[in-house]
Each structure stands twice: as structure tokens, then as C-alpha cells.
Amino acid sequence: MKQVIGRFAPSPTGPLHLGSLVAAVGSYLFARQAGGLWLMRMEDLDTPRVVPGMADDILHTLEALGFTWDGEVVRQSSRTAAYGAALAELARIGMVYPCGCSRAEIARIGSAPHGREDVLHYPGFCRNGLPAGKSPRAIRVRVADEPVTFKDGVMGEISENLGESCGDFVVKRADGPFAYQLAVVVDDGEARVNQVVRGADLLHSTPRQIYLQRLLGFASPGYCHLPLVTGPDGAKLSKRENAVSLADGRNLRKEGGKLLFASLRFLGQKPPALLERASCREILEWGVTCFDPAVIPRLPAPLALK
């Protein structure tokens, strides 16, 4: 059997918040219970949105909460050569092309006929060459008109036809950076990550990532998408809401155990009441021993802090 290699990959565009804490707890317990590695990656590729100092604050916050990770922290901002090599390989096999369309032009066409409201469907204007008068902006990958199907460890079977839902998608953005989808696939593939546990807001990124994995010759990890933490009104939490951060003034020596205990309960676990008063390290150790993935709920919900 292969050693499990999991990872946690926060984006330093804001502080660690309750939703990202739940993702950290879930990914950590999945990996550690299997006796596997838990890697740390900073997804800081979108430099205009990165908040200075936030990456270090996230790492210090996680350390204060008792988390330990294996190896050095990987920072996407230092890996552009690897992403460039992957893009060159996609070009070599004829699977990418330059696109001269603006987002506004694409939006005027409307959403995908069979897609999702949250995805802007690309209708393929530049698929067979740049139209007259257009200059190259982004680079897109050609998608097949067939379903990408996988079985998620929490959400069950997921199937999406990329041709219908999003069309040819961007792998290098018009403003310069490599796209998230390409960077994540290269990072996970080169680190031999075989277990991805993350929030359900990324569930529909997974078919695009699996598609790129197949094109680039990477094995697809097993996926588990955890339910989203919402506000009391059911809306998704923003980065600034319910921040769990040393920089935000949280006293994690006092509150850390309570936050971890609540995260376990949110994930359907039943930690004994006395554990809430234990240290962060003791709570995580209980989780590694007693974690039961089968009881993780699928539906989003608020995270109850007593």
C-alpha cells in the first residue's frame, strides 16, 4: 500500500477563519489517522490579492493550535518555472491555445446551456485561431465533450461534462499569473499527493483538475470535500468573518481547544465533553485515534461555538 500523502493549502489573502480551520482539521486527521504525511503549501500565486505577513500569521496560528506538518512549506510564488514547464507540455501535445476574449465579452453570451450559474461558460470563440483584430490575452486548455467522473469520499459520485459546464478553461491568466487549476495540479502531482481533503467550495474545481492530471500524466488523488461553514443566515463566511488568527487578536492559548472541539463536532464527531478543556495537542491526538470519516455530514451549516 502507498503511504498516504495529504496536504493543507491555504491562501494568504486573509486570515485563517472557521471554514479554513475545519479544512485543516479534516485534512490533518484524514492523513494522520492513516499514518501518512501532511504537507503545507501556501497558495500565494495571486500576488495582487496576497496580504503581506498573512502567510506567516497562518502558519503561526496553525502551530499555536497544535498542528505539525512534514517537510518545508511550499510557496506557489516560487514555483512558476514548474508551471511554465507544464504549460509547455500542454502546448506540445496541442491542448492549449491563446484566447483574446475579455470576461465582459464572454459574459455577454450568457451562461452555459447545461452548466452552473456560478461558472461563466466559454463558447470557444478563439478555439480555432484568434479572430481578426484580437490579440492574445489568456491561454486556455481544450476540453473534451465527455463527463469527468469521480467518487468523492464525502459527497459521493460527482460527474461533470466540462464542455457543457465551463468550456475551455484558463490555465494562464490575461494579467500574467498561471491559473489556480494548473498550479494545484502540478503541485499535487510533483509532491505525490494522493489524498486531497478540502472545503466543498472547491468540489466543482475537481473535474477540471482531474482533466489536467490526465493530460499531464499525473495520478489523480482521492478526494474528500468537507461541508462548508456558513454564517447563521446560511451565507458563506468571508475571510474576515470569524477569523481564527493571532494577528486578529485571538488568544489561542485560551480559545484554541474550544475551536478544535467545535470543529470536530461540526465534522460529525463525538468528542467527550471533558476534552473541550484539554490542550490543542490532546484534542488533535484524540481526533487522530477516534476520527470517523463515515459520519461527516454533507450539508453546509454554522459552526457552533458554546
Q: CATH number for the domain including 19?
A: 3.40.50.620
Of 183, 199, 222, which closes a domain? 183
Containing domain of residue 219, as a range? 5-79+186-302
68, 172: one domain: no
Q: Is residue 87 part of a domain?
A: no
Q: Is residue 89 part of a domain?
A: no
141, 290: one domain: no
> Is residue 122 helix, strand or coil?
coil
171, 212: one domain: no
Q: Report the catalytic residues.
A: 239
Query: Residue 279 is placed in which grid cell?
Result: 490542550
Lookup result for grid cell 472541539 = 261
Is a pLDDT exceeding 90 seen at residue 108?
A: no
- Percent of the chain predicted with pLDDT > 90: 80
32, 168: one domain: no
297, 196: one domain: yes
Query: Where does the pLDDT of residue 116 fall: very low under 50, low under 70, confident under 90, or very high at 90 and above?
Result: low
pLDDT of residue 1: 73
Q: Is residue 297 part of a domain?
A: yes
100, 119: one domain: yes
Strands (E), 135-271: 138-141, 147-152, 156-161, 169-172, 195-199, 222-226, 229-230
pLDDT of residue 241: 61
254 sits in which H/E element:
helix 252-266
Query: Where does the pLDDT of residue 118 fall: very low under 50, low under 70, confident under 90, or very high at 90 and above?
Result: low
Of 123, 155, 183, which closes a domain? 183
Residue 305 phi, psi (nearest 5): -110, 120
Q: Is residue 84 part of a domain?
A: no
158, 296: one domain: no
Query: Where does the pLDDT of residue 206 fall: very low under 50, low under 70, confident under 90, or very high at 90 and above?
Result: very high
119, 201: one domain: no
Cβ pair 115, 166 in contact under 8 A: yes
Q: Is residue 264 part of a domain?
A: yes
When the pLDDT of each residue in the chain is averaged and rounded to a whole number, the result is 93
Summarize pLDDT for 49-91 with one digit per residue, the tens.
999 999 999 999 999 999 999 999 999 999 999 999 999 999 9
- In angstroms, the CA 246 to CA 285 distance is 23
250, 277: one domain: yes
Total of domains in the chain: 2
156, 125: one domain: yes
- In angstroms, the CA 304 to CA 257 distance is 14
Of 148, 165, 183, which closes a domain? 183
101, 172: one domain: yes
Q: Is residue 59 part of a domain?
A: yes
Q: Is residue 67 part of a domain?
A: yes
Q: Is residue 267 part of a domain?
A: yes
45, 140: one domain: no
Terminal C-alpha separation, the chain: 41
